[in-house]
Structure 1
Amino acid sequence: MNDYQKQLKAWQAKPFIKQLKKQLPQAEIFLVGGAVRDIILGRETKDFDFVIRNVSKKNLEKFLLKLGKVNLVGKKFGVFKFRPRGWQGEDIDIALPRTEHSIGMTGGSRDFKIQSNAKLKIEDDLSRRDFTINAMAWDINQSKLIDPFNGLSDLKNKIIKTVGKAELRFKEDYSRMLRAIRFAVQLNLPAGKAGFEIESKTWQTIKKSIQNLNKKINGEWVVAREIIAKELTKAISAQPVLALELLDKSNTLKHLMPELLKMKGCPQPKNFHSEGDVWQHTVLALKKFNSAAFKKEFGSARVTAEVSCGLIFHDIGKPYTITKADRLRFNNHDVVATKIFKDIAERLRLSAAGIKTEVVENIIAKHMLPVHAKVETMKDTTIEKYFFNENFPGEELLMLIFADISATVPPSGKPDFTTYKKLKNRINKLKRKSKGPDSKKLPRPLINGHDLMKELKLKSGPPIGKLLAIARETQLSGKIKTKKQALTFLKKQNRD
């Protein structure tokens, strides 16, 4: 027996499955969908979905309530969110066999008429699913794989193909096109190994139909922006380089984020960027996340979706700010890039997908920090503001800066990390002043505004803030170490 068959067969021993078979012996139990796919692939899976035949909705609900908690949100169309007592994972989806009929073929994921039928064949239930690799079921009673659409073969051959005609399947729900791209990215992990491809007819249909993601009916989006955001985020989080490549080649960028395409062909000074135009620089920078140098610098720290998005959009302002008077310049491209990303994030509802858009905006806005500010003369309070502040994404900014520099290739072929190293030295110097196990927390300020108003007889206002900044800078430099020293120092400053 194959390893995946052993894992699938192990479900027979789960307590709630044993109880179900005992109390409802007529029940036919099937593990379906992504869980079957992932177990066959040897991937970790958290989402488990079951289809149960030959049991009425009423009897199934009654049984489940005896064994755990049941969320009745999906009750009207025969789906229960079930958490068995003692179960440590995500809620389990348990459903009766269902059919789905797209209402009017609008392409909207919400425009389905769903009917449950306890007597419906499992093959008919599977026929409504999106891709063949998701249209398999494990028959727990018979310990066999139900595979009417050759999903196992497609898994072995690493092919993503629709169930039935691609054009019809996508017309039912246009967001499935993004799901295909997302699966092609997610199932290709780890990066660099030969992986899944979208089958030719499915791919051509995506390229031809992707503009329908922007379709509106009566002024409303057919495909909710939130759904688009979630699919994009999942793909970019998994593998940003491959995600960007597929989104580009499928014409998705053209219709959802056309601003990015302006980076193609946007020239850069060859004395700094022998790697090519802005698009080529961006792709190369994304690849640096997997480089040995990056892993050495940041260890096991995870590259978040925010960092990936920040890097994808960090130079999007260059095509809009390019001047060629004396040489190629992109003045304020970081400011423009921040605004463009903000517009795109609002347009596509990226925050609904869990993207912390303010983090992305901050790291785009400050990615030129080592260039714009002389690191040697930068105030300690400035270093603190960006790299020892729980309200600013300092580590994420460092990741973006490092990858950006790694992909800034002069004619010599060796990126110049001088400014980055100076910045890190300044950060590490401040870290040595930290107390306790958390090296990101510096000693608390010696005084506050109330202290100043009381001791210096000052009223609340801008002068208080200015004096507090001076005190903090002097404290971080090591020149004052006590509250008494701070007050003495500021009294003199105030007199001067």
Structure 2
Amino acid sequence: MPVPTASSPEEPTAQQLKAIRELLGRVIPPAADELGRRFAAAGHELALVGGPVRDALLGRPGKDVDLTTDATPEQVLQLVEGWADAIWTIGIEFGTVGLRKGDLQLEITTYRSESYDPKSRKPEVSYGKSLTEDLARRDFAVNAMAARLPGHEFVDPFGGLGDLRRKTLRTPGRPEDSFNDDPLRMMRAARFAAQLGFTVAPEVVAAMRDMAGRIEIVSAERIRDELSKLICAPRPRAGLTLLVDTGLAEHVLPELPKLRLEIDEHHRHKDVYEHTLIVLEQAIAQEEDGPDLVLRLAALLHDIGKPKTRSFEPGGRVTFHHHEVVGAKMARHRLSALRYPKDVVADVSRLVELHLRFHGYGDGQWTDSAVRRYVRDAGHLLNRLHKLTRADCTTRNRRKAERLRRAYDDLEARIARLAAEEELAKIRPELDGNEIQQILGIKPGPLVGKAYKFLLDLRLDRGMIGKEAATAELLRWAAEQGLQPPASSS
């Protein structure tokens, strides 16, 4: 259902309020209303609040059921005892109780206000007395709307409905106060710009610019989670641009603004920052099953090694030799600092390292051995590497773009042919470790690994040659190493 328009955003008409109540009645789960009646019978308030109300008015599907109440966490626990199928208290120190009723998961948070000490990474929580007071401490007006339960009375003291209509992000009070209470809200503004396509109000942008350094008191884990949501949003360019323009990126992802390299009349080259955003968008366009965080991070970071490797050659030519190697190390460092899981760090940095490998392909001059190595080095990342490599072509020269496309089409066709013939993804030497030990008469140890690597290189270079020929090559290699295999093997 579209957001009802209003002659005055702060004062919806009676007809609009009726439409909103009917809409909320359709999307609010019956269990939430049942819980509302339970709280009301005990003399307490309960309301659906924040994102679920916003998304209902925007017609966006939502799974979260976020509730707020005047009851303390201890009182909440008493009220849901015997009603909820499961209860968890992992967030109770921040006033939140989680519970499950059937297939529905709910979170109930006591009215509160929270703020950060200038030297603290954790909020100080104090409980509030009213729903309006609770809404006043929310991040943005579009998230400061509520529906009282069980009657579905719409509560919007800060004009969030009008902001939805205008597609604008404002804070309920002064943005400086809001961001001082929780600096992560500055990143959340960028994330909502990317997710919802909203414009951030000028006074909010100004406060983000003035207070960007405040983000450094927020934990790396919280920053990581917000950044991931932004990157996986439908329009990440909008959010990333806001982070860079306000100076926030210098504190959370400093490699990104550094891509804005100077371009003058003597040293012309691509705008690496703009190129990066285009590569990200072109990678997103190739996604098949929803947002791929690893692919998007790799697209965003694939050229971060360029500022460190830029060199000016005679004639005004600019080079970035080995920027993929330097960039891979930088990506590993940044993602580790942001506390990304080890597998994400490894996969993204590997894609950054490999993203230029294709450009040695030329006009199909690679041998089958080189193609096998390309597949072997990419491993489980091959499909993502295909997408990143194709996305990395941002040239406006149609002839060059078409040549690159044909070349990569040819490479993929060769990979498919070799895969069908040789099961490339499962390439192994034709002799396993036990056979190597038996043929050479050696025990487990480093020498077995060296022999295995020799046979793997042989397999990549020559394809399948059969166990007999592989054994002969192994014995030849062993002789070169000064080994004397058992008589039965020679």
Both proteins in one fold, TM over 0.5:
yes
Q: Is the 8 A contact 2:193 2:200 kept in 1?
A: yes
Give the aligned residue type for 1:99: R
For 1:181 and 1:12, locate their aligned partners in 2 and report how far apart those are by CA, in whole Å: 28
Q: Is the 8 A contact 1:306 1:360 kept in 2?
A: yes
* Aligned partner of 2:188 among 158, 179, 182: 179
Change (3 A) 1:205 1:58: closer
- Residues 362-391 of structure 1 deviation map (CA, whole Å, 9 limit, x = unaligned): 01111111124676224354134134x34x
For 1:225 and 1:174, locate their aligned partners in 2 and report how far apart those are by CA, in whole Å: 13
* Aligned partner of 1:197 among 190, 196, 199: 199
Q: Is the 8 A contact 1:240 1:308 kept in 2?
A: no
Paired position in structure 2 for 1:383: 374
Paired position in structure 2 for 1:93: 107
Secondary structure at the aligned position of 2:401 is classed as coil
In the TM superposition, what is the alpha-carbon distance from 1:130 to its structure 2 partner?
1.4
Secondary structure at the aligned position of 1:414 is classed as helix
Paired position in structure 2 for 1:224: 219
TM-score if structure 2 supplies the norm length? 0.81
Confirm whether residue 114 of structure 1 aligns to residue 114 of structure 2: no
Confirm whether residue 43 of structure 1 aligns to residue 60 of structure 2: yes
Confirm whether residue 395 of structure 1 aligns to residue 388 of structure 2: no
In the TM superposition, what is the alpha-carbon distance from 1:110 to its structure 2 partner?
1.9
Secondary structure at the aligned position of 1:356 is classed as helix
For 1:36 and 1:75, locate their aligned partners in 2 and report how far apart those are by CA, in whole Å: 23
Paired position in structure 2 for 1:210: 212
* Aligned partner of 2:170 among 161, 165, 171: 161
Secondary structure at the aligned position of 1:83 is classed as strand
Structure 1 gaps, min length 5: 189-195, 215-221
* Aligned partner of 2:419 among 409, 416, 431: 431
* Aligned partner of 2:401 among 414, 417, 424: 414
Change (3 A) 1:444 1:3: farther
* Aligned partner of 1:242 among 238, 243, 252: 238
Change (3 A) 1:487 1:303: farther
Confirm whether residue 264 of structure 1 aligns to residue 266 of structure 2: no
Q: Percent identity?
A: 25
Paired position in structure 2 for 1:145: 154
Give the aligned residue type for 1:306: V
For 1:252 and 1:416, locate their aligned partners in 2 and report how far apart those are by CA, in whole Å: 39
Paired position in structure 1 for 2:275: 281
In the TM superposition, what is the alpha-carbon distance from 1:109 to its structure 2 partner?
6.0
Q: Is the 8 A contact 1:175 1:223 kept in 2?
A: yes
For 1:230 and 1:432, locate their aligned partners in 2 and report how far apart those are by CA, in whole Å: 40
In the TM superposition, what is the alpha-carbon distance from 1:114 to its structure 2 partner?
1.7
Q: Is the 8 A contact 2:48 2:66 kept in 1?
A: yes
- Residues 287-317 of structure 1 deviation map (CA, whole Å, 9 limit, x = unaligned): 32355xxx4xx6x244522222222222222
For 1:329 and 1:12, locate their aligned partners in 2 and report how far apart those are by CA, in whole Å: 58
For 2:251 and 2:311, locate their aligned partners in 1 and report how far apart those are by CA, in whole Å: 27
Change (3 A) 1:38 1:455: same
Secondary structure at the aligned position of 2:278 is classed as helix
Paired position in structure 1 for 2:292: 304
In the TM superposition, what is the alpha-carbon distance from 1:137 to its structure 2 partner?
0.6
In the TM superposition, what is the alpha-carbon distance from 1:223 to its structure 2 partner?
1.9
TM-score if structure 1 supplies the norm length? 0.80
Secondary structure at the aligned position of 2:421 is classed as coil
For 1:492 and 1:228, locate their aligned partners in 2 and report how far apart those are by CA, in whole Å: 56
In the TM superposition, what is the alpha-carbon distance from 1:257 to its structure 2 partner?
3.6
- Residues 122-175 of structure 1 deviation map (CA, whole Å, 9 limit, x = unaligned): 112211211101111111232221111111111111111011111111111211
Say what the alpha-carbon RMSD is for the aligned residues: 3.4
Give the aligned residue type for 1:64: V
- Residues 65-113 of structure 1 deviation map (CA, whole Å, 9 limit, x = unaligned): 31211112344554211111x21x5x311133x2325365x28562323
Give the aligned residue type for 2:115: S
For 1:372 and 1:302, locate their aligned partners in 2 and report how far apart those are by CA, in whole Å: 31
Paired position in structure 1 for 2:37: 21
Confirm whether residue 351 of structure 1 aligns to residue 340 of structure 2: yes
For 2:390 and 2:28, locate their aligned partners in 1 and report how far apart those are by CA, in whole Å: 50
Confirm whether residue 472 of structure 1 aligns to residue 459 of structure 2: yes
Confirm whether residue 452 of structure 1 aligns to residue 469 of structure 2: no
Secondary structure at the aligned position of 1:138 is classed as strand
Paired position in structure 2 for 1:218: none
Change (3 A) 1:40 1:131: same
In the TM superposition, what is the alpha-carbon distance from 1:422 to its structure 2 partner?
3.4
Q: Is the 8 A contact 1:130 1:169 kept in 2?
A: yes
In the TM superposition, what is the alpha-carbon distance from 1:432 to its structure 2 partner?
1.2
Give the aligned residue type for 2:437: M
In the TM superposition, what is the alpha-carbon distance from 1:449 to its structure 2 partner?
1.9
Paired position in structure 1 for 2:13: none
Change (3 A) 1:33 1:250: same
Structure 2 gaps, min length 5: 1-15, 481-490
Paired position in structure 1 for 2:484: none
For 2:33 and 2:158, locate their aligned partners in 1 and report how far apart those are by CA, in whole Å: 27
In the TM superposition, what is the alpha-carbon distance from 1:278 to its structure 2 partner?
1.9
Paired position in structure 1 for 2:321: 331
For 2:391 and 2:24, locate their aligned partners in 1 and report how far apart those are by CA, in whole Å: 42
Give the aligned residue type for 2:199: E
Secondary structure at the aligned position of 1:60 is classed as helix
Give the aligned residue type for 2:127: Q
For 2:429 and 2:164, locate their aligned partners in 1 and report how far apart those are by CA, in whole Å: 59
Give the aligned residue type for 1:146: V
In the TM superposition, what is the alpha-carbon distance from 1:23 to its structure 2 partner?
7.9
Give the aligned residue type for 1:339: K
In the TM superposition, what is the alpha-carbon distance from 1:468 to its structure 2 partner?
2.2
Change (3 A) 1:27 1:149: same
